[in-house]
Chain A
């Protein structure tokens, strides 16, 4: 079982080293790939100092979706079996990554999502954002008929089948909810497990409040458009 840990990093000079160390500690057998998404701080220098990790540098900032897409294609080209996504900002605890992989090993699921909202412990994101997430969950639940409680969580593990599908044509701007949609449409099994996240330790979120509502509108637009496409079939 070849496991790849994908760490997306955009200006994470304060946290990236810790995330890599934690990942090594908790998943010693896994390969680590860091996609540096056009960082303008010292992230790139810090990464070059790290030993035995793969580093890919984007020529410019492509957004989290772009970083994940690059990681997926690296995964496919290098023939891995399972992929775990951990954000470079320290929000996702590498100590819980094992729990994400387990259902994949038992072939219980193709996508495992670490959800903040099953046990509602740890950092649950700010109030306005939680409102957005809640709205998104209600709408995706209604339109896409999925029962995922944390559609925007990027703390996820994927089977090889799932990555191969997503690597072809990836929903760039708003990957997480659409991933769920695409995979459930193809009949892939999606499982959620409880995860306890930390508040980000450094850097700034890739999505600020204004952006998060813009993001929400874009996601909703995609869901609406796809809803009609789906009904036709």
Chain B
């Protein structure tokens, strides 16, 4: 009798990646609680870590994605997903930075005008 084989036997790398994903998720939540990271930025990270977690728990998923995309070498699809996530994150940061730069400039301009007005008033006062 042939023994029924589990196509995805639990390996140490799988356990490691599950634990690591859980750790990262826990870290993000702890950071939110301590207010070290704002929720709006945390959301993207949480989504990404959840994707990691799902991929490490259901190993067959990568195979299916690879077949669907027509990728022969499964780890390549993993890298693709990873790159996609990182891409989104950095893009998001560029938008945030641009917005911040605009606000900083606006603040500096307002401050400059107020400071000018203040020193003018000081000059006029006896």
Q: Which residues of A contact B (CB under 8 A)?
A: 35, 54-60, 62, 66, 69-70, 73-74, 77, 172
Contacts and interface: CB of A to CB of B under 8 A. Distances in A.
Interface residues of B, number: 10
Nearest to B109: A70
Nearest to B102: A172
B109 A69 contact: yes
What secondary structure prevails in chain B residues at the interface with A?
A: helix
Nearest to B107: A59
B108 A54 contact: no
A108 B88 CA distance: 50
Interface in B77-126: 105, 108-113, 115-116, 120
Nearest to A69: B109
Nearest to B108: A59
Contacts, number: 35
A55 B105 contact: no
17 contacts: A35-B112, A54-B116, A56-B116, A57-B115, A58-B108, A58-B112, A59-B108, A66-B105, A66-B108, A69-B109, A70-B109, A73-B110, A73-B113, A74-B113, A74-B116, A77-B113, A172-B105
Contacts of A55: 116
Contacts of A74: 113, 116
Contacts of B111: 59
Nearest to A63: B105
B108 A60 contact: yes
A58 B109 CA distance: 7
Nearest to A59: B108
A56 B112 contact: yes
B120 A59 contact: no
A69 B104 CA distance: 13
Interface in B7-36: none
